[in-house]
Chains A and B, each alone.
Chain A
Amino acid sequence: MEFKHPQEELDRFRRRLGFASGFVLFCFAILLMRFVWLQIIQHGYYQTRAEENRIALVPITPNRGLIVDRAGTVLARNYSAYTLEITPSKVPDFDATIDRLSEIIDIQPRDRKRFKKLLEESKNFESLPIRTRLSDEEVARFIARRYAFPGVDIKARLFRQYPEGVFASHLLGYIGRINAGDVSKIEDADQDLNYRGTEHFGKTGLEQRYEFDLHGTSGFEQVEVDAGGRAVRTLARTAPIAGSNLTLTIDAKLQHIAEQAFGDRRGALVAIEPSTGGILAFVSVPNYDPNLFVDGIDSQSWKELNESPDKPLVNRAINGAYPPGSTFKPFMALAALETGKRRPEQAISDPGFFNFGGHQFRDDKKGGHGLVDMYRSIVQSCDTYYYMLANDLGIDAISNFMAQFGLGSRTGVDIDGEAKGVLPSQQWKKERFKRPEQQKWYAGETISIGIGQGYNAYTPIQLANATAALANNGVMFKPHLVKYVTDTKSGEKRLIEPQPIRTIPLKPENIEVIKKAMVGVNIEGTGARAFANAGYVAAGKTGTAQVFSLKGGNYKETATHERLRDHALFIAFAPADKPTIAIAVLVENGGFGAQAAAPIARQVFDYYLLGKVPTAPAPADDAAKEDDQ
């Protein structure tokens, strides 16, 4: 160890300070030399370059990619229209200018409000639209008087248009003007430069998810500007590259038929190609017109959409979670077979109720279904069979089995806003509730889980994908809406490959039992009326989900308020031996599944498999009421 003398130490420290000062001066001298080089010796050169910098780069916004269905039908496109624009920095008094403009061009208070809003959000050297979509006549009228309006000009701009209007809006989504949230997304993607001239951004649906594909690459124009920054002439131009086109797995005609089949009822439908996970139809009704949002929605329309009790802005297909009702039964039966808790031929005697812990769980059919084996339990939708089965399996076995079918977890479909739903289990309940007495799972709660009631809640897309996995003998794909993305420049197609999520280990003979029973549903069971004379073999299962629990007493459909009526459900796939389509249909407050949901599936299948176009919305089959819980 070396003993340090304080004075020696201090001297050494001061010598080091001296060295540091020398280093600072040396570095500053280098900087100074650099400045002298740039600012004196090279000054002339850089001055010329600064002069040349009067040449400004103006971004040219690329055309947004198109969205087309699998057959090429255009669902989202762009059209060019004239807008009347004001450059705020060149117009001293907007109100007076707008007043004078309104004498020759129709300007509504709505347009003024929107302009004010844009003004607050923008930098003042941008020109902002006061009126969009001018008619030719209006353009001519303005041009004749243009001299009287410095700082006001007509520009040709591209607008997004959804030619089908109120159609497929929940999957297409819409674009709107860029807001602060969008800006940070653009920055995070390091796209700032590319979005310099862009004004719109995908807000929901595919427009949102595929924003950076659809946007394209901005071009740049070298423009000579005068001292005030105004463009004098164009010197060079790098053309923009239009955004990629999206080709969907959606069949637009099928989508139309599916949407119209609902009539004015509320609900959702998802149809999936089981062998790929490609979504053929994706319905959430009521719909809205995405065109309303493109230039900023006016407050009147917004209020109507937002406050409507029908909630047209909610994407029911992925965001609504509903009890599956009896559509849960085929999966329960399969769980029973796979776990060995039931053999197909094993029959129970159904007295019409099941007693458990001093509570009577009633079957829908008074007096019961008599002797019920697995086939009959599905075909006739016998509740007692499943009360007993649920009790035998226990909640965790049910939950573990259903999780394999993706119930209670997001499917990963390529649009945002998916809800998780609820796959009840002991663990789930522990996490869901705070009070210890609520956290405990009671065996009695398992009973109603067996018939798809209780805490069960799944999104229509989860049900559709689970049905598709069943149809596909346990091979499950990630559902997706986009088939491929086409690069407009190279023509190259980026295929969205079918993505297998998992292969559920199921015994083929067990699957056969369930499929056979589901075929039976549509031949001699609750779906038979809806699928009479179908011309193909469809496997299905009806379901009815309680919205309102009627303690005691009988459920009387007419007597219950419309919004408290049960939800009607139907899951199906066809052709049963080699399925090409799997479907889940939900009609909110539709009553019985056989009555409201199955006829919709029939119309969709008829078109998809036979090319039959229906003439009217699927009729509610009021006679089909029996035995369907």
Chain B
Amino acid sequence: MNLIRQWLQRLVAPIDPVLMLLTGLLFAYAFMAVLSASPERAGAQLMNTAIALVVMRALAAVPPQRLMHLAPPIFVGGVFLLICVALFGDISKGARRWLNLGFMRIQPSELMKIAMPLMLAWYFQKHEAYLRLRDFGVAAVLLLVPTALIARQPDLGTAILVLAAGFYVIFFAGLPWKIIIGMIVAAGAAAPVAWGLLHDYQRDRIMTLIDPEKDPLGKGFHIIQSTIAIGSGGIFGKGWGQGTQTQLEFIPERHTDFIFAVLSEELGLLGNLFLLTLYALLIGRCLMIAANAATLFSRLMAGAIAMIFFTYAFVNMGMVSGILPVVGVPLPFISYGGTALVTLSVGIGILMSIHRNRMLVQK
């Protein structure tokens, strides 16, 4: 009896109860959503959740110091794999994203979502004592090379997430405001050039956002059907499992990227408010952990992970509700799919570990 209790204590020791509670609520919400959108996947969803929990617990036990040492090899390995993808990756749906290792297929761009902030946080920690403007230049190069490789696949969704992840680290490391504002101005000026560089389908998505009704059965179909689902949900929703848009299969990809439309239709504005609150609390908790983290590396990592969660949530809900163009970003912790869930759980695990190794004395 005692042994079991000891073992249990050891098992839960690295786990932060607040983060665990919030994540658990999200998992429960996700299970409910998948059960309605795609009941045949409920079993697989449970399986994915279990794997995610194991990963989370495993990462929570890795001290930030260890993680930091692993950053350069993970990053270099990730870039190497991305180059392999560019050279001889598998093509699926017109994009080269997968690498066939013979026994399994992997998507190295997913790894970059974590490897990128790890690497940059490592870099800034190394140069903590005498951080110069030049270091931000180096960080920018470290950030842009893999991002460009991913954008070329093309996988705009992942490229945006990786870019954002890296940018948050640089931002928290203290990139001067002058430069940030300069960049925003420059980006605005360069927009027409960027437009020319986009793939046709990417341009279509932006045009679709502006006028989805132009091609209601083709390119506009996703976005029209998902806004109808959200709008028709009203304040209280149509009830769980009662959404006509969902159940009559008008919502495409309703168990993955568009699962938010399912939730909005069936649970209404109140449901959305609940979800937004959960996300806000989760992000808030993560930022708090960042504020009290012991080292620069931990601070940057925690801050970046918090903001990655935000980016996932905002970009996904924004695209499903028709204020952002459609890019392949899942709703964090909710969308069906093992890969994204594992990546996000790695993030939570790292945060738990950072929290356990926080500053014990407030400076």
List residues of chain A with CB under 8 Å of any chain B CB: 1-4, 6-7, 9-10, 12-14, 16-17, 20-21, 24-25, 27-28, 30-32, 34-36, 38-40, 42-43, 45-47, 49-50, 53-54, 56-57, 184, 187-188, 190, 220, 225, 229
Contact = CB atoms under 8 A, between A and B. Distances in A.
Contact of A28 (B131, B132, B314): B314
Given A13-B299, A17-B287, A187-B92, A38 B230 contact: yes
A598 to B, nearest CB: 48
A46 B248 contact: no
Q: Which of A39, A43, A54 has the most CB of B within 10 A?
A: A39
Contacts of A188: 91-94
A228 to B, nearest CB: 10
A31 B230 contact: no
A35 B269 contact: yes
5 contacts: A7-B363, A14-B291, A17-B172, A30-B323, A229-B248
A39 B174 contact: no
B269 to A, nearest CB: 4
A7 B287 CA distance: 18
A53 B245 contact: yes
Interface string B122-161: 0000001111100000000000000000000000000000
B227 A46 contact: yes
Given A36-B269, A188-B92, A4 B131 contact: yes
Contact of A53 (B92, B228, B303): B228
Contact of A39 (B94, B129, B268, B306): B268
Contact of A50 (B132, B244, B268, B303): B244
Given A39-B269, A49-B228, A50-B228, A190 B310 contact: no
B335 interface: no
Interface stretch (B2-10, B272-280, B338-346): B272-280
A2 B174 CA distance: 14
B308 to A, nearest CB: 12
B353 interface: no
A35 B272 contact: yes
Given A7-B363, A50-B244, A1 B227 contact: no
A46 B225 CA distance: 10
A39 B279 contact: no
A28 B283 CA distance: 12
B230 A187 contact: no
Nearest to B92: A188
B120 interface: no
A271 B8 CA distance: 78
A2 to B, nearest CB: 8
Contact of B235 (A14, A27, A39, A184): A39
Contacts of A53: 225, 228, 244-245, 248, 250
Interface of B: 91-94, 128-132, 168, 171-172, 174, 217, 225, 227-235, 244-245, 248, 250, 264, 268-269, 272-273, 276, 279-280, 283-284, 287, 290-291, 296, 299, 303, 306-307, 310, 314, 317-318, 321-323, 363
**8 tightest CB-CB pairs across the interface, nearest first?**
A46-B231, A50-B232, A38-B231, A39-B269, A46-B232, A47-B232, A43-B234, A49-B228
B303 A45 contact: no
Contacts of B171: 16, 20
A498 B79 CA distance: 45
Contacts of B128: 4
Nearest to A28: B276
Q: Which of B92, B231, B233, B280 has the most CB of A within 10 A?
A: B231
B196 to A, nearest CB: 23
A188 to B, nearest CB: 6
B230 A46 contact: yes
A302 B22 CA distance: 57
Contacts, number: 134
A24 B284 CA distance: 9
A31 B130 CA distance: 40
A192 to B, nearest CB: 9
Contacts of B318: 31, 34
A225 B248 contact: yes
Given A1-B132, A28-B314, A43-B232, 18 more contacts: A2-B132, A4-B128, A4-B129, A10-B363, A16-B303, A20-B306, A31-B276, A31-B318, A34-B321, A38-B321, A39-B268, A42-B231, A46-B232, A47-B234, A53-B228, A188-B91, A188-B93, A220-B217
Nearest to A14: B291
A25 B314 CA distance: 11
Nearest to B225: A53
Nearest to A7: B363
Contact of B234 (A16, A25, A39): A39
Contacts of B306: 20
A3 B132 CA distance: 10
Contacts of A50: 228-229, 231-232, 244-245
B228 A13 contact: no
A21 to B, nearest CB: 6
B317 A31 contact: yes
Nearest to B310: A24
A30 B232 CA distance: 19
Contacts of A57: 217
A32 B280 CA distance: 12
Nearest to B90: A188
A188 B96 CA distance: 11
Contacts of A45: 231
Contacts of B228: 46, 49-50, 53
Contacts of A187: 92-93
Nearest to B300: A13
Contacts of B250: 53
A21 B172 CA distance: 12
A9 B229 CA distance: 47
A31 B299 contact: no
Contacts of B310: 24, 27
B249 to A, nearest CB: 9
B128 to A, nearest CB: 7
Contacts of A7: 363
A20 B272 contact: no
A56 B322 CA distance: 22
B120 to A, nearest CB: 15
A50 B230 CA distance: 10
B244 A54 contact: yes
B227 A13 contact: no
B242 to A, nearest CB: 11
B59 to A, nearest CB: 22
Contacts of B91: 188
Contact of B93 (A27, A56, A190): A190
A38 B227 contact: yes
Contacts of B174: 9, 12-13, 16
Contacts of A220: 217
Nearest to B247: A229
Nearest to A184: B92
Given A31-B318, A34-B321, A43-B232, A20 B276 contact: no
A35 B235 CA distance: 9
B11 to A, nearest CB: 31
